[in-house]
Structure 1
Amino acid sequence: MESITKAMRIFAVSSFLCVCICFTAKAQDFDFFYLVQQWPGSYCDTSNGCCYPSTGKPASDFSIHGLWPNYDDGTYPSNCDPNSPFDPSQISDLRNEMRSKWGSLACPSSNGQQFWQHEWEKHGTCSENVLSQHDYFAAALHLKDSVDVLGALENAGIHPDGGQYSVSSIMDALKEGTGYTAGIECNTDESGNRQLYQIYLCVDSSGSNFMDCPVLPQGKCSSGSQVEFPSF
């Protein structure tokens, strides 16, 4: 009987330790974030086209695509907690700012809520041990306000005027303007031309501070190529 009781105690302690270890592993299960911003002109200038949000045409500025947890090896977690659905009431105080800085250009036209739901459930749930649902969206908005991506480019003579610019000059301008090396993603317009589409900046796992990227997204834009920066 004593041996059975002892075995039960060992099992209970082991189970407790397993829960703690597993929770800790989950709590630290990413290394950094990508703050991803997209140029609306490049989103719209494709064969798929775009639809302006129900609030009207967005400003001619980079907008937030997402705040994405990543691993140092270039992979990333996703859809981490199906028991944490998007709750619009959690971001009621942020809604106007999100419509301005994190709008959806997908068709049909919308108020952005479906887009935010996707970003939270795919990416945000993988960081909820660090950032609550409200804080996740607030962090992305704060980070966007902390760096002026378009301003950094325009200060270097790179304007959204339909001109061609080298990827290396774009990266140099962003490094000069933000202090960090950025990842560049291109897409293809209706005529098959490569164009500047998205900018990736790295953020520490607290979601608070920009940092040098452990790894940049691969295969997005060739550093030696010329790309269009379309107007919007």
Structure 2
Amino acid sequence: MSNKLATELSEYHRCLQYLLLQLSGWPDNCDGTFSQYCDTSREYTNITAILAKAAPSTLAFMQTYWKDYQGNDESFWEHEFGKHATCISTLDPECYTNYQPTQEVPDFFTRAVSLFQTLPSYDWLAAAGIVPSKTATYTLAAIQAALTAHHGHNVIINCNSNGELDELWYQYNVRGSVQTGTFTPVDPVGSASTCPKTGIKYLPKSGTGTATTTSKTASATSTSTKSTGAASTTPPGVLSGKGYLYVDTSSTTSDGFLISSGAWYRAGGTPATYTANPNSDGTTFSLSSSKGKCAILSDSSLSCGTSVSTASSFAYDGTHLTFQGSAQFYASAVPTGQTQGTIFTSAQAVSLAIAWNSQ
């Protein structure tokens, strides 16, 4: 069975990020075709209530990132489950031991969300210099190269009739069940990308004043929850494994995040995944991102990349990262728009802290 994960970039589906905000996973027949609405008895009409009880953290993520462009999230989620999830064989009730009604609902949505979180498309494009713009245009080859470099296989890149970037489709083969199986990236089958070879527009987020206000409110709520969750579930000590790094300032919790270069970014998108590796001293750990090892350089700036030969040692106080005993970091200014702010350990105009949120 092949499984698609589609990330729609429609102007009207954007909420907190320039990329995203509609994701869905569905099985196809390994030729681009797929079945739909396979079990009308399981076209549930209470997805929100089911997730609130069985998978509240998944629901919280969806309420921020998996939005309906007309404002009816429940109806949209019902559509995605009824159309696609009912056609995934390992979600059939008979495939469960001691099946409980609606048990497959949190399994489907939680796996779709977890897969999406491994695909920071915005960061991947930004790292290649492909960022939202009202004036710049990009080539299909450049976008494909930026995504393939990280995903390992080609991605279907779709545009609307105006040549505006609209969807990214990532495809996988699944070994085992959707719930616990291994998703292996593969080249796409079926329809080719619909974007033109040149002149592709990648527009910034826009909308009515009401929509923008709602988006900002949702962003503050979501990222605050992430930071608080990390503090409450990860005790002081040595961090290990993968996570995200959020910036806390004196006025705002989770005021942006760190991208893969170690820079502070506040204009939306997906935070980079960092890996914490415990050091042999048993009290500190090193950090790395997709760019490479992370270190505090001779000018006191934080940098992650292939040019870093020796990673710096950090610690964790239960809420924030520390360096040489201090949880205080700095920036010369609060970044705005597409600006990336450099993080320092030496005193600068803006004081900040860096919170860890485990994946």
Provide TM-score, normalisation by structure 2. 0.47
Corresponding position: 1:69 with 2:27: yes
Contact 1:152–1:178 under 8 Å retained in 2:
no
- Aligned AA for 1:84? R
2: distance between equivalents of 1:180 and 1:202? 9
Corresponding position: 1:195 with 2:159: no
1: distance between equivalents of 2:29 and 2:198? 28
- Aligned AA for 2:158? E
1: distance between equivalents of 2:113 and 2:144? 22
CA shift for structure 1 position 77? 0.5
Q: What is the identity percentage for the equivalent residue pairs of Structure 1 and Structure 2? A: 23
- Aligned AA for 1:215? V
Match of 2:8 among 38, 49, 54: 38
CA shift for structure 1 position 168? 1.1
Match of 1:164 among 133, 137, 140: 137
* Alignment match, 1:129: 90
Task: Kindly indicate which of the two structures has a greater share of residues assigned to helix.
Answer: 1
Match of 2:80 among 96, 110, 119: 119
SS of 1:60's partner is coil
The superposition leaves residues 148-180 of structure 1 with CA deviations (integer Å, 9 ceiling, x where unpaired) of 111110111000113210011101100012222
CA shift for structure 1 position 121? 0.3
Match of 1:178 among 151, 157, 169: 151
* Alignment match, 1:212: 186
- Aligned AA for 2:144? M
The superposition leaves residues 121-140 of structure 1 with CA deviations (integer Å, 9 ceiling, x where unpaired) of 00111115247221110011
Match of 1:149 among 105, 111, 121: 121
CA shift for structure 1 position 96? 1.2
Contact 1:36–1:67 under 8 Å retained in 2:
yes
* Alignment match, 1:104: 68
SS of 1:184's partner is strand
| 4+ residue segments displaced more than 4 Å | none
The superposition leaves residues 97-140 of structure 1 with CA deviations (integer Å, 9 ceiling, x where unpaired) of 111121111x3x33x11000000000111115247221110011
The superposition leaves residues 40-88 of structure 1 with CA deviations (integer Å, 9 ceiling, x where unpaired) of xx433xxxxx7x8xxxx53433223311211112110100010112242
1: distance between equivalents of 2:77 and 2:191? 22
Distance 1:214 1:154, change over 3 A: closer
1: distance between equivalents of 2:188 and 2:154? 11
Contact 2:155–2:188 under 8 Å retained in 1:
no
Provide TM-score, normalisation by structure 1. 0.71
- Aligned AA for 1:122? K
Q: 88-97 vs 205-214, which deviates more?
A: 205-214
- Aligned AA for 1:85? E
CA shift for structure 1 position 33? 1.2
SS of 2:35's partner is coil
- Aligned AA for 2:170? L
- Aligned AA for 1:147? L
SS of 1:215's partner is coil
Q: Please provide the CA RMSD for this pair.
A: 2.1
- Aligned AA for 1:91? L
Q: 95-104 vs 210-219, which deviates more?
A: 210-219
- Give 5+ residue unaligned stretches, structure 1: 1-30, 45-49
Total equivalences in the alignment: 182
Corresponding position: 1:95 with 2:59: yes
- Give 5+ residue unaligned stretches, structure 2: 93-103, 206-359
1: distance between equivalents of 2:158 and 2:188? 17
SS of 1:230's partner is coil
SS of 1:129's partner is helix
2: distance between equivalents of 1:210 and 1:229? 28
Distance 1:70 1:115, change over 3 A: same
1: distance between equivalents of 2:171 and 2:89? 18
